[in-house]
Structure 1
């Protein structure tokens, strides 16, 4: 067990997929967890289902970074924040218009920046904090069918590294987890889009992916959640400014 008793955690986009797995794990390890989602009733249901006590929820619109920051400020302070966002729509780089790129920047970068701005002052005053982001294997190999996400994730990686450099003296660590193929609704949608683009079926796309993963399976949201819980704990007190893979060996780069 990672001792997170007495810690208040915020899990952005915590009602489904990886975010939900993180929320479950943080709650199991003792933290009181607030989950955000786009649907208020869904977020409330998830919060009520989490183990432990003191769990809560709110809804916000990630297309509006100011709304995200405002909700974080109104519901905090937090000791731990999972910086997680919805993904941009699939598409190749030649299909990426300026409008869609601006939308992706709001959705996946500026919304998280706004959450950090709202949550950081209380962490600095306390002299302790954990900021953990969810990024992507596209940081090492851009994903052709997820062009907008690949571009914005790279910008987010630079932001997180600079943030770690500037906040370490306050006892705040900043890291990110790098999932591979995690079995979520979003990955299923991506697999379906890939199948359509290649003129094949989803089973063929999934089978090819599984052959490329040394552990032979897609990851689960809880696989990512346990890594986040470790990074949020005092056992990871000397880890900052880095990305850690949890991908079953999917990424072949060193």
Structure 2
């Protein structure tokens, strides 16, 4: 299926490795000019080379942090020079470790860090780059959250609270931006294989078996399966999907909605 985004300028954050990198590769495979944003300049340049070699499309690296206003301003300037953005896929960082039960999350600096990394950074990015989409009259925004925003998981309070906040923020944006031709959605993953982070198995066999038992499919999800859903939401064909949260968790969440 041709997603109709060839030549579109697609921003992907946290794209120097992991999930963000895989999403960037999926969009580049569809012909998008991907703008990579993350803190590591060297890693970003490596992903740019990989995109250009594998897919023959241009890629642009912008090193910076989602939590730094000056970096977002500089990113917006780069995007403006490319006549974009048309697409923004927002991947944020993880909460502070170690994970704790909710009542044990009693240290304000941990809450502040999680807020800045997972929610405030999203608002700051949207304020910096989305007005250009509105001016163009077309755009796709996809925020990668977590299935914990639909079904809270043990020891994930810091993630659940702020991922749910992002979900609410995206729903509000969808209501406000629809008239300008901009769709806004979330993708909420869980049980996705993360062995790409180290090149080795992410879990022990026992941990893997427990996770596999949490889904009717009886297996972990792949990075390609997650990236494919994100890519579809950026497509022309997804133009009537907005304000939605698409769960990519193999049926783990037990609710009807």
In the superposition, the TM-score normalised over structure 2's length comes to 0.88
Q: Summarize the alignment of residues 202-221 of structure 1 with structure 2, pairs less than 5 Å apart.
A: 202-221=204-223
Residue in structure 2 matching 1:237, options 233, 236, 239: 239
2:24 is aligned with 1:23: yes
The CA deviation string for residues 67-108 of structure 1, in whole angstroms up to 9 with x for no partner, is 442233122131000011111124222332111111111101
SS at structure 2 position matched to 1:81: strand
Distance of aligned partners of 1:183 and 1:67 in 2 relative to their CA distance in 1, 3 Å threshold = farther
2:151 is aligned with 1:156: no
Residue in structure 1 matching 2:103, options 73, 86, 94: 94
SS at structure 1 position matched to 2:7: coil
Q: Could you tell me which residue of structure 2 aligns to residue 70 of structure 1?
A: 73
Distance of aligned partners of 1:155 and 1:187 in 2 relative to their CA distance in 1, 3 Å threshold = farther
Instruction: Name the count of aligned residue pairs.
Output: 243
Distance 1:104 1:68 in 2: 19
Distance 1:70 1:141 in 2: 35
Distance 2:32 2:159 in 1: 30
Deviation at 1:144, TM superposition (A): 2.0
Larger RCO (CA under 8 A, 6+ residues apart): 1
Q: Could you tell me which residue of structure 1 aligns to residue 227 of structure 2?
A: 225
Distance 2:196 2:146 in 1: 13
Tell whether the 8 Å contact from 2:76 to 2:128 is kept in structure 1 after alignment.
Answer: yes
Q: Could you tell me which residue of structure 1 aligns to residue 57 of structure 2?
A: 53
Distance 1:68 1:116 in 2: 13
SS at structure 2 position matched to 1:131: strand
Q: Could you tell me which residue of structure 1 aligns to residue 90 of structure 2?
A: 83
Which consecutive residues of structure 1, in runs of 5 or more, have no partner in the other structure?
Answer: 193-200
Q: Summarize the alignment of residues 150-189 of structure 1 with structure 2, pairs less than 5 Å apart.
A: 150-184=160-194
Which consecutive residues of structure 2, in runs of 5 or more, have no partner in the other structure?
Answer: none
Q: Could you tell me which residue of structure 2 aligns to residue 6 of structure 1?
A: 7
Q: Could you tell me which residue of structure 2 aligns to residue 198 of structure 1?
A: none
Distance of aligned partners of 1:101 and 1:55 in 2 relative to their CA distance in 1, 3 Å threshold = same
Runs of 4+ in structure 1 over 6 Å off: none
Distance 1:73 1:140 in 2: 32
Distance 1:163 1:243 in 2: 13
Distance 1:71 1:218 in 2: 38
Tell whether the 8 Å contact from 2:212 to 2:219 is kept in structure 1 after alignment.
Answer: yes
The CA deviation string for residues 219-238 of structure 1, in whole angstroms up to 9 with x for no partner, is 12221111111111110111
Distance of aligned partners of 1:107 and 1:25 in 2 relative to their CA distance in 1, 3 Å threshold = same
Distance 1:202 1:187 in 2: 15
Distance 1:107 1:65 in 2: 10
Tell whether the 8 Å contact from 2:193 to 2:222 is kept in structure 1 after alignment.
Answer: yes
Distance of aligned partners of 1:12 and 1:134 in 2 relative to their CA distance in 1, 3 Å threshold = same
